[in-house]
Each structure stands twice: as structure tokens, then as C-alpha cells.
Structure 1
Amino acid sequence: MIDVEDLIELVHTYNPRSNADLIRTAFEYGRRMHVGQFRHSGEEYFTHPVAVAAILTEQHLDDATIITALLHDTIEDTKSTYTEVERLFGTEIAELVDGVTKLTNLQLSSSETKQAENFRKLFMAMSKDMRVILVKLADRLHNMRTIKSMRHEKQVQKARETMDIFAPLAGRMGMQWMREELEDLSFRVLNSEARGSIIRRFITLQRETGDVINKITNDVRTELDKQGIEAEVFGRAKKPYSIWRKMEEKQMGFSRLSDIYGFRIVCESEQDCYRILGAIHQRWRAVPGRFKDYISQPKSNGYRSIHTTVSGRDGKRVEVQIRTRQMHEVAEAGVAAHWSYRDGVRVQNPFAVDPAKWIAGLTERFEQSEDHDEFMEAVKLEMYSDQVFCFTPKGEVVALPRGATPLDFAYAIHTRIGDSCVGAKVDGMRVPLWTRVKNGQSVEIMTAEGQRPQATWIDIAVTGKAKSAIRKSLREEDRERFIKLGRELARVAFEHISKKATDKALSTAATRLGLGGAGDLLARLGSAELTAREVVKVLYPELTMSTGDEIDANRAVVGLSPDQTPQRASCCQPVPGERIVGITYRGKGVVIHAIDCPALEEFEEQTGRWVDLHWHSGRHLAVHSVTLELTIRNDAGVLGRICTLIGEQKANISDLTFRDRKPDFYRLLVEVDLRDVEHLHMVMTALEADSDVAAIARHRDLTRRPS
């Protein structure tokens, strides 16, 4: 651990006017509060806050952020309080420490509904003061650097959360270096074999070809010297995770990858950027479709640079990024550049974005999302997006994520344009709506009065805004039909626990689920966006818990060791009473399959992964879901009677999906919660006996097998 004077010296290198006494006081206060606490590695706990503060000095951040890093765990993990921190260090620092504490308590990898709500809180905290998330990112980076001391299950959980949330968030904020390091540290935990393989191949390649980076760097410098351009040239091999992801996306082996090296040229002026681009393209052949000008069209986080890929020495593709020094500062620090100091004063970088405006633009579209699914879809899209820029016929620029379609373009202009879209032209040529638009293309949307969004558009659209608008329109169109079906599903579910689905009960459930009212709740039930089990559970949680001598799902299987976690296979959905076998999966515990599941064929030669299991004897809870495929008559009241029959067998319908609709028949999948195989036979027999049920079978989906 560095001492307080070393930390002060790190701050003084970029901010000689920093308040050394306040940093010293915070250091001693933090050390005192954490005395007697230790990390998993056995080190004193305070080494962690100090390391976080040191990481933030690399970004030249202000005193308040550095002190917040030193104190960021005090309110949560020690006897320290907000009031005491405010008294000693002021309101600004107390607010920042409190903000980091609240972020730490968010369970971002929890269930979908809770995860969406916690993401909303995360963005709310960011909107109050972006420095909160900068401290949290540095906190996560140090935790990932020292993750080896944690037990394996915890490592996997933290690595997955980092890969899904914190790494893309760092990238979205323009801190690409942090994103790459977080991804690589997570990759080391989640797939160490793949990472090791890529590193070994790099070593072999370097042995065969020599120092390619140094050779190409010298070639570039020679070309710039010929043109009389002063610039710095940096080269590096891309990170193992970046290479692995490209191998996965392009479905090709390491030996076939070409652009595994990246080069950066940093010059003095914007004019020099374009002169350098000309020199590079004169010397080496440009790769078509691999040119992006983020100087004329900057990213929303302030990122500016020219990207081009060329066929370099020995035909190897190399990516080249060209930018000025000021652009480079923003590219390295991202949104954090707003708080960067140099020589004791805040840096006035014309390319650094105002964090308040950036976060307002980021959250604006999230607020339009009506439910947690749409919100999470918008968040994840926004976090991972890599933009393309298209033009309207009038020359206005529309920014879209990579992979977007003309349909996304239409909704980006206006919801009314998207809803009435009947076709599109790209660069003057008529194209299907599922066409992927590219940088620089001109898109024209054709509309027609009376046109309404089609259900197939959900799969065509990419952006959260387009998908949300399409879903909303479809919901309104089918609302009455879905409400009627939802009411029947609710009635059966409530009767199953000897309750009534009154308007008051439904309104209360809607409020607790954050929905607009009973009508909205019923519509979502009928459209399978919400399950009856969720509605019942939010009102009567005690009735969904295990009671008496019944065996709950957590101890339903015999034959597992204490450290093994069971999980029912989605492909065969085994239930108590059926013969079962377990298959071990890395990171997933033991997956339970029915003994006749076809998915077991691929493990015939891997007997070491088989676990002998059997169901616990006794009465099981009705929590084991099984999907039934039914073909029923399309007639008034038939579906309601089917739901009633299932309810009469004391089985709960947890999901319902229509597979095919004909004028005379429906084909649908019904997911039913059951106790055991006998319960399953009772339900199927009752349904099979109904004259309006043409066919019934247990549905098994082998596409859902674990991997």
C-alpha cells in the first residue's frame, strides 16, 4: 500500500494546488475507521480504498473525488456516519460517499425486475454527480485486479456482473482503456482456457514473425517524416478478449484473423489528422468499409478520432486511429475529462462533454420505457452500442446503433413516421425493412395513412425506442382481447389459492408491480408479458412459500454434494417421480435431466460429468414447471374452460403462448406448475378428456439445452 505522502505526490503532479491537509486527514480517518478489517487476501482492508484513490489520480481527478475514494466504504462498513463525514469533509464529499454507498448496495445481477429498478437508481445517481460512478468503476477495477483471493463462485458472479454491466458502462462513458481491462480481467475468470490459448498463439506468432508492432510503427513514422508531419505513433496487440470476441462473431480461427494489431497516431491539429490519413492511404491500401470519421461526427460521449484499417506489412490488416492531443485526452478519460486537472487548474478541453448534458441524453429514452423489459433492453443496447450515421433526404444526420434498420431510422425521426412506415429507400434504391444500414447512407422512409405496426417488426427493429413504440401500438390494438384472457388467467390463479381476483386485488397488485392499473395488469397477463404466479406472489407471498412437511425445490434432489447447486434442465423439464441424472457444468452447478432426455447423448463419452441422482421421497411443492402443447377448438369459452380444468387439478398456469392461430383451431404452449409426475398425468388426463381438446402432448425444446 502506498503511504499518504506518496498519494499526495501523485495528486500534486497534476494539481499542485490540491488540499494536501484535507487528503491527509481523509487518509488517517479512513485508516482509523477500517482498523481491524481485512480483505480475503489477508491484507488490511484500507489498502483497497487507497488503491482506488491511486487509480483515480491516473485520470487527474479533483480532490473531492480522491477523498471520496479514500472514504467510499466508511459509511457502509464502519461506524462512520453521513453526519460525521459531512462535519469533517463538507457536504460535497459526504454526498459523493453516500452516493457510492448506495451504488454498492444495488444488486445489479439480481432478477430482471429488480435489476431494472436498480439500473434506474444507478442512472439516477449518475445524473446527480457523475463522479459517483467514476469512483465505483475504479472500485470495481481494483476488486477485479485482486479477485483471485475470492472463492470461485464469487469470482464468477463478480466477473459476469463486470462483463455485463461495468465494462460496457465504462466504454459508454468513453473510458475505453478501463473497459478493455475490465473485460480482460473478467475473461480470465470466465474462460481462462480460451484466454490462455490466445496468449500462447500470440507468443508463437511473435516468434515466427518477429516484432511486427515495432516494424509497422517505424514504417508509419517514415511516411510521416516524408510528409513533414510531427506526431507520436503507438502500436499494440489487441487484448485477448477483444480477439476472442472477434473470433466468435466472425466464426473463424485465430490464424485467419487479420487485424489483431492496433496503432494510434497523436498529432497537433485537426488539419494534421487528415494529412496523416492521406499519407497512410497513399502508402497502404485501405480496407473497404472499415473507415469511420468520428471527428466530423463525434460520439455522444465526446469521442473524436479517425479510424481506418489498411493492409500493412506482409498483407496484415492493421487498424489505425488518428487524433489530436486534446482528442486523445478525451478518448482516454471519456466523460471524466470534465473534472481533469493540469497544473492546478481544471483542463479546458473543448472536446470534453458536459456530464449533465450527456447523462440527460442517455436517460431521456430510458424514461420512455413503460416496463422493466423495455427498460433493460434500452439500457443494454445503449451500453453496447457502436454508432453509424445516416442521412435524411434533406441531409440531416441520424445516429443509430450498429445493426440498425430503416425501421429504426423511421422511429428515430418520429414515432408517427415509424408507425405508418410501408417501405424504405437506401441511397435511392428500394430495400426490405430488415436491411442493415451503413455509415453515410441516405435513407428515405415511405409512409401510408392507415398503416399500423406489424408483430414481425419486433424482430426487425434493433433500437429500444422502436421496439417500445411497436409493442405499445400492438398492445393497444389487442388490448381488449388480452384483458379478457388475462382476467380468466387471474381468476384461475386466485382460485387455486382460495382467493378471488377482485378489482381491488388486481389494482393493488398493479400498484406493487409499478403498472398503470388493473386494466394494464390484465392486458400484460393476457399477452404473456406477466405471469399469474407473479401477480399472486406480490399479493400473497406467504401462500407461495413451502408449508408443513412439503419438500421445497431447494432440497428436492438427493445425491448432490454440499457445494453443488441443482438446476432443472429446460430441454426436458424433469419432475419428481421420473428417473433423473445430473450433468456437471462449469459455472452452472449440476443440471438435472430426465433419463430419457435426447440431450444426454452428447455426454455418453464424458462419464466423469454424470452424477447419480434421485428425487427426495415425500410430497413436493407444486413449483416444477412443465410445458404442455395443446391444440384446442377456436370457439367462445373454450380457452376459459381449459384454464378452469387445469385449476381444478390444483395446478397453476405460469405462462401461456400462442404458437398458431387458425379460424377453427388454436395451437398453444401452456406452462403449468406441478408437484410430480402423477400430478402431470392428472392434468393431462383431465385435458385429454375434454371434447374441445384435439391434441395434447408434453413439449420438449432441445434448443434450450444448456451448454
Structure 2
Amino acid sequence: MPTIHNLEKRLRSYLDDEQIGQVVRAYHFAEKAHEGQYRRTGDPYITHPLAVANILTDMHMDHASLMAAMLHDVIEDTGVSKEQLAEEFSEEVAELVDGVSKIAQIKFESKAEQQAENLRKMMLAMTRDIRVILIKLADRLHNMRTLHVMRAEKRRRIATETLELYAPIAFRLGMYNMRVEYEDLAFHAIYPMRAKLIGQAVKKARGNRKEILTTIKSSLEHCLEEEGIEARVLGREKHLFSIYSKMKEQHKPFADIMDVFGFRIIVDRVDTCYRVLGAVHNYFTPIPGRFKDYIAIPKANGYQSLHTTLKARSGIPLEMQIRTEEMEAMANNGIAAHWLYKSDDEPGTPTHSRTQSWMQRLLELQQKTGNSMEFIENVKVDLFPDEAYIFTPKGDIKELPGGATAVDFAYAVHTNVGNKCVAARIDGKLSALSTPLESGQTVKIITAPNATPNPAWLNFVVTGKARTNIRHFLKHQQREDAVELGQRLLEKALHSYDMGLDDLPIERVVSELAGNGYFELDDLLEDIGIGNRLAPLVARKLAGARDDDERHEDDRKPLAIRGSEGLMVSYAKCCYALPGDTIIGHLSAGRGIVVHRDSCKNLLAEMRNAPEKCIALSWDKDVEQEYTAALRIELINKRGVLATLANSVSELGSNIDTIDMAEKDPTLTILNVTMTVKDRIHLARIIKKLRTLDSIVRIHRL
């Protein structure tokens, strides 16, 4: 069991006496605060903060982090407040402790929501001070090491959360050693039998491999000696979870995974790495397509190394990693190496600068996401390790997760580029925005000043930044559209009382808003616009009218539809209304007005069930938008008949969206076609033209 005296001895290697004294003082404060509390293991509670501080000492963390580690549970589990900690120690320590403390005061609807909100709070604290997440990672690591005392169900839940969130965060921060331990501990907790069997198989294989490893290691050392290169050659052990994942993903047996031998060659300088690469490629046979240069282009988490796969003379595959001592330290400890090996005159390491940019992205996500569940969902997406390296036309590199599309790339360049993108050139070829990108491609985004994000993009974007910005824009746009439509509906309803919005008594408006929990008039107008409140009923209350009051016939005057109302006016796909048709609107909660033709069967059913939700509409004189129309066409099967049909439609300034084959026999085919048209007259001209074609038997509008 580690004691405070053992920790003091360890701290003397890099902290001064005054700093060690403060850490010890924090320990005694925590010991007193947690008095009488015990862990599931039966040990006094203080053993946990002490163990967390020991893990951080391995990383050579500063004294403030160690003090926060000692105190990290006092706000949550004892009566001590953040203010008391700030007074007793410092504002810095209090902020760190508060960052890792869960939210206790708020009641949540579900456990998942509570977890998400706690994680969101911690992530936000982390963007202000990276040490918050390092304390939390150390806390989680000790909890994982003592997980065996928990109930099986809780063990699996904590282990799953560790695999899904904490291991990827450790990977993102370049902390390989911690990530490996997380994964192996979680693997043992979730699949104890599988872990045990693979562990036994690895032990057995290790004995058989010893001789081969020694021979290959000697060959490598001899090869480097001949070239006059000084280097350390290490054999690489695969960890259990990595073996299991490869067996599962690649559908390979254990023997095939263990057949590959891994080596790490560590040298003094970057240029020596490339000399070593040349030497081993000369000595062994390199396998084509298996070389990666992460020194020139580091991974998203700042990891740097040369990777190559070779074939030994015996035919055994060798996976080789070549890196400097500093890269080795960074690969194992990541962002923590910033403290472990920091010197004031050194510029920020790649790991450090990439962590800063990741945290900046987290801050943007936090500002634009609606709730904590959405925020955590986007963070998880951003933690995926597979990345693609995409070049901008100027030669800058953007790192994106595997499967990212041109839209993700556009948002990675800049939010405004994403919001206004209309197409992309991938390696000079015009491509769809949904095209998945591959490493090494050069992408140029084409923008238009009036373009806006398309809701359909949410079906294929993968980065949190793209998803959050699209949702944020659509929510903002939806509110604007809803407020404008709500104002028009309310003005129309008030007109029947010879009033407008400006004529309403202020106190009556304030009373209506307060009585229904609205903060401002726009909130009420938005609710009317999206169909949650009915304008005539609101107008009656605001006008102060009674049921028997006289109302003008003007109330029945139809609302003019311009076609530019945005997201709050949609057109029903059951009847495809066009300018020139007689139309009626149905107020649908959450969707605003849905426009139907007056002869639509679905509308007639709605009018019977809820007549108050139906509203008279008319087309504005200046409608310029294009609309969708649907035709049912019966035609004789002939070669090239579809091409003739498409040409005829195109000649009249229309475009076919979809063609569905409803029925087909050897001589006759029935098609359901949707196309874009300006109005009824435009559609009539298209039908007239199509009827002149020889192969058309019958045609009518759906």
C-alpha cells in the first residue's frame, strides 16, 4: 500500500521542499475530510486520492495537479465547498478540483443524461486547463485497477464507458501506455473468459518465439552496426485487447496475429531515422504499400514515427517503428510528456499544439450544441482514431476521421466555407459533396455567396464540427422562419378585430407572455409559426375579445404563400400542390404549415378531425420558386424511350428528379415520375408535349 512518505521520497526527484510541503498538506486535509469513509475494497478512502497522485507523479506532474489529485473527491463526497478549497489552498487548485467533480445539485431525467452533463462539464473545464483531464484519467485508471470489487453489472458499465470514452481520450492525447492499460483492464472486465484464454495463449507463444526474436534482434543490431548507426532495438509486445480486436476485425486466427514480429528502433536524431530506414530496407525486403511516414506528417494526436513492414529471410513479417528518444517519450506519455520532459525554452511539441487545436474544437462544439447528449455524441465521433490526411489547394494538411466527406473538409477549413459550399473538386475532378475522402487527396471547395447548409448533409457528415454547425444553422434558420410566419398568421388573425400587433396594449401582451412562460414576443410568434399554438385563439386573447364579439369576414381571407417562407412551409408529397392550384394549409405541430391541394384525400380527413388547424391559403402573384410535380406515365417498351422522355422534359426547362417503375410487362411499362416545374401552366405544357410522343399511351398527374 503506497504511503504519503513513499510519495514524498518520489517527489524529491523533481519538486522543491515548499511544493512537496503543499502536496503533503493537501493529503492531510483530504484524509481528515474523508475520515470514516471506506472504499469497496475495505481500505480507507484516502488510499484512492493517494494512488491517483502516485499515477500523476509517474508523469512528473506539477504540485498543483498533485494537490488537486489528493482533493479531487472532497467537493463531491464531503461537506467541503469550492470556496473553502480556494481559501485553504489556491484558486488554481479549487478550479482543478471543481473541473473533475460531478454535478450534484441538478436532478436529471436519466442516468445517461446525468453522465453526459458531467462529462460535458469536465470537457469544458479541460479546455480551460488540460490538467483537469489528466487528473480524471489517473482517477479512472485507479478505479479500473480496483474494478474487481464491483458488482458484475456495474463492472461492465464502467469498463464499457472506459473503452468508449476514456481510452480514446488517452489516445487523442497521445498517452499510449495509459490507453493500453485501460483497454486491457476493460477487456478483462467485459470478457473475462476471452481475456484469460488469450493471455494463456500469449504466454505459451512467448516461449516459442523467444529464440526467433533474439535472432532477428541480433540481425538488426548487426545491420545497424555495419552502417555505423547507434540505436536501441526493442522487441514489441502486443497487448491482449489489440490481439482480440485484430482477430475480431480481420477474422484471423490467433496464430496469424502472433506470426507478425514487432520491433522498435530508437535513435538520437530525426535524420538518423531515415538512415535506419534505408539500412533495414537494404537488409530485409520491404513489403510494398506498407510504409508510413508519421514524422513528416504526424498523426492527429501528435504521434511521430516511421512505420515499415519487412519480410525476414525466413519469410516472417516484421513490423518496424523507427523514432527518436523524444518521439518515444511522446508516443508513450503524450501530452503528459509536456510535464515529464518540459524545458522552458522549448517550443510546443506536436502533441501539445494538436491537443490545443482539439480543445479549441471542443469549445466550438460546446457553444453550438443544444444539449449534453448531443455534445458527447459529437465528441465520441471526434475521438475515432483512423484519420485521413487531406491537402488544401495551397498544400496545407487537414486531418479528418476515416470516412469524412467533402462537407467535413469544408467545415475543417472554416465554418463559413462549410456553410456556403455547393460542390468540391477532388484531385481536379468535380465531385459530389457526399464523396468520402482518402488520404493524400487535394480538395478544393466551391462556394456560392447565397448558399446555405442542406439538412440532407446530416445523413453523411462524420465530424462533430460539421454536424454541430449544420444543426446550429438549421435551428437558427428554423426559428427565424417560424417567427416570420407566426407574425403573418397572428397579424391576419388580429385583422378580423380591426387590430394589428402594434395596436395591442403592452400590459396584455406582457401578461400573455408571462402566463405561458415566454421570455419575449418572438418566442410566442415562433410557437404559432411551428404550429404549437393557433393564431385565432391567441389573437382573441390578445385582442381581449369575448366569444360573442363581432368579427370581420377578413379573417377568412387566405394567407398568401410566396414560396420563400423557408423551413416553416412545406409541400405535402401526397398531392404535390403547384402555383395555380387551389390550396389549403394544415397546421402541423413542429412543422408549421403543410400545403395541400383542396382535393387531397389526406387533407379532407384532417379537416374532419381538426377543422381549426386548417387555414385558407392562396398563391402570391410573385411566386418564382420551382416545385415538385408527379406524373404517372404508361408507355410502350422501346429502345431509347427513356432518353426521348428525358430530352422532351429538359427542352421545356424542367428536370426529372426520380423515375420509379410501378409495373412492367413485355409491351407496356408504367412509370411514376417526379420533376421540377414552375406552376400548373408549365406542367400542362410538359404533359401536352409528352402526349405527342409515339410511345406514350396514357399520362396523368398524380
Whether these two folds match at TM > 0.5 is yes
Matched, 1:162 2:129: no
Match for 2:360: what amino acid? Answer: G
**Which residue of 1 is the match for residue 142 of structure 2?**
142
**Counterpart in the other structure of 1:636:** 603
Determine helix, strand or coil for the equivalent of 1:320.
strand
1:283 counterpart residue number: 283
CA contact (8 A) 1:286 1:309 kept: yes
Match of 1:365 in 2: 364
| Cα separation, 2, equivalents of 1:507 and 1:315 | 77
Q: Residue by residue, what CA displacement relative to the aligned partner does 1:249-269 show, whole Å, maximum 9, x if unpaired?
A: 334443444786543332211
- State the partner residue of 1:195: 195
- Contact 1:482–1:525, Cα closer than 8 Å, also in 2: no
5+ unaligned residues in a row in structure 1: which ranges? Answer: 487-501, 527-632, 645-660, 666-707
1:53 Cα offset (Å): 1.0
Residue 573 of structure 2 corresponds to none
Alignment-derived partner of residue 693 in structure 1: none
Secondary structure at the aligned position of 1:119 is classed as: helix
Q: Contact conserved, 1:235 with 1:262, CA < 8 A, in 2?
A: yes
How far residue 216 of structure 1 moved from its aligned partner, in angstroms, is 3.9
Alignment match, 1:20? 20
Q: Please state if 1:57 is matched with 2:57.
A: yes
* Conserved 8 A contact 1:303-1:327: yes
Assess, with a 3 A threshold, how the Cα gap between structure 1 residues 80 and 115 changes in structure 2: closer, same or farther. closer
Superposed displacement of residue 452, structure 1: 6.6
Report Cα offsets for 1:34-88 as digits up to 9, x if no partner. 3332211112222211111111111011112122222222333335454554444
Matched residue, 1:183 = 183
Question: TM-score scaled by structure 1?
Answer: 0.63
Offset of residue 450 of structure 1:
7.5
Flag the 1:642–1:49 CA change in 2: closer, same or farther, 3 A.
farther
Q: Unpaired segments of 5 or more residues in structure 2?
A: 487-510, 533-599, 612-627, 633-702
CA deviation string 1:495-515 (max 9, x = no partner): xxxxxxx9959974999xxxx
Question: CA 1:30 to 1:232, structure 2 compared with 1: closer, same or farther past 3 Å?
Answer: same
Count residues with an aligned counterpart.
525
CA drift of 1:139 comes to 0.9
Once the two structures are TM-superposed, the CA of residue 389 in structure 1 deviates from its matched residue by 1.6
2:333 is aligned to 333
Aligned residue number for residue 240 of structure 1? 240
| Inter-CA distance 38–272: structure 2 relative to 1 (3 Å threshold) | same
8 Å Cα contact 1:30-1:46 kept in structure 2: yes
**Cα displacement (A) at 1:359:** 5.7
Identify the range of structure 1 (466-475 vs 322-331) with the bigger mean alpha-carbon deviation: 466-475
Deviations 1:199-258 (CA, angstroms, capped at 9, x unpaired): 244344445544554444333333322222222232322222223223333344434447
**Mapping for residues 348-363 of structure 1, pairs under 5 Å:** 348=346, 350-351=348-349, 353=352, 357-358=356-357, 360-363=359-362
> How far has the Cα of 1:125 moved from its partner?
1.1
Equivalent residues in 2 for 1:205-354, closer than 5 Å: 205-210=205-210, 212-257=212-257, 261-299=261-299, 301-312=301-312, 314-340=314-340, 348=346, 350-351=348-349, 353=352
Q: Deviations over 1:323-362 (max 9, x none)?
A: 22223333333223333367xx769465262699446423
Letter of the 1:263 partner, please give it. F
Distance 1:288 1:109 in 2: 55
The answer on whether the counterparts of 2:368 and 2:472 sit within 8 Å (CA) in structure 1 is no
Superposed CA RMSD: 4.4
Output the CA distance in 1 between the equivalents of 2:55 and 2:148: 19
- Residue 635 of structure 1 deviates from its aligned partner by 3.7
| Paired residues of 1:62 and 1:340 also in contact (CA < 8 A) | no
Indicate conservation of the 8 Å contact 1:163/1:186, yes or no: yes
CA-to-aligned-CA distance 1:459-496 (integer Å, 9 cap, x gap): 3322223334555666788889999999xxxxxxxxxx
1:176 CA drift (Å): 1.9
**Deviation, structure 1 residue 664:** 11
* Alpha-carbon distance, 1:138 to partner: 0.6
Aligned-partner Cα distance in 1 for 2:109–2:433:
35
- 1:149 CA drift (Å): 0.9
CA 1:451–1:347: 2 relative to 1, 3 Å = closer
SS at match of 1:322: strand
SS state at 2:234 partner: strand
Asked if the contact 2:99/2:121 (under 8 Å) is kept, the reply is no
Change in Cα spacing, 1:393 to 1:269, as seen in structure 2 (3 Å) is same
Q: Which moved further from structure 2: 235-244 or 111-120?
A: 111-120
Alignment partner, residue 36 of structure 2: 36
**Does structure 1 conserve the Cα–Cα contact (< 8 Å) formed by 2:300 and 2:354?**
no
2:403 maps to a residue whose letter is G
Other structure's SS at 2:36 match: coil
Which residue is 1:466 aligned to? 466
Supply the distance in 1 between the matched residues of 2:460 and 2:148 (Cα, whole angstroms). 42
Deviations 1:377-417 (A, max 9, x none): 32112222443221123323222122222332233334565
Distance 1:129 1:636, change over 3 A: same
The code of the aligned residue for 1:391 comes to F
Q: 1:93 matched to which residue of 2?
A: 93
3-state SS of paired residue (1:136): helix
Work out whether residues 126 and 359 of structure 1, in 8 Å CA contact, stay in contact via their aligned partners in 2. Answer: no
